[in-house]
Amino acid sequence: MTTRPMTLGVTRVARNPKIQFGEPTVGSSRTTVVSIVLVAEEGEGVDGILRDFPHLTAEDVADALAFYIQNREEIDRIIEQSAGD
């Protein structure tokens, strides 16, 4: 199965059921949008996120955050579910 962009204008986020249980991931990595959002919520800017995920680009981070803004309800639900684990 191929990956595909998830949201109009966001080209670096894709979902593949064989990668990270189908959660939206960034670029060609296994880094989830959720992971990036959690670092951003700690007050880290793009530079801090890139320090934590050096394999990503600033464009990857921007797309991940744009995806979050456009799909906040879904991503927040994933975060809530994982907090209960």
Task: Kindly report, residue by residue over 31-45, the tens digit of the pLDDT.
Answer: 999 999 999 999 889
The number of domains in the chain is 1
Domain extent for 10? 5-83
| Alpha carbons 10 and 6: distance in angstroms, whole number | 7
- How large is the angle between the packed helices 72-83 and 58-70, nearest 10 degrees? 100
pTM of the model: 0.86
In the structure encoding, which two tokens stand for residue 25, read together?
């991931």
pLDDT tens column, 3-39: 544 556 788 999 999 999 999 999 889 999 999 999 9
Beta strands in 1-85 (DSSP E): 5-7, 10-14, 25-26
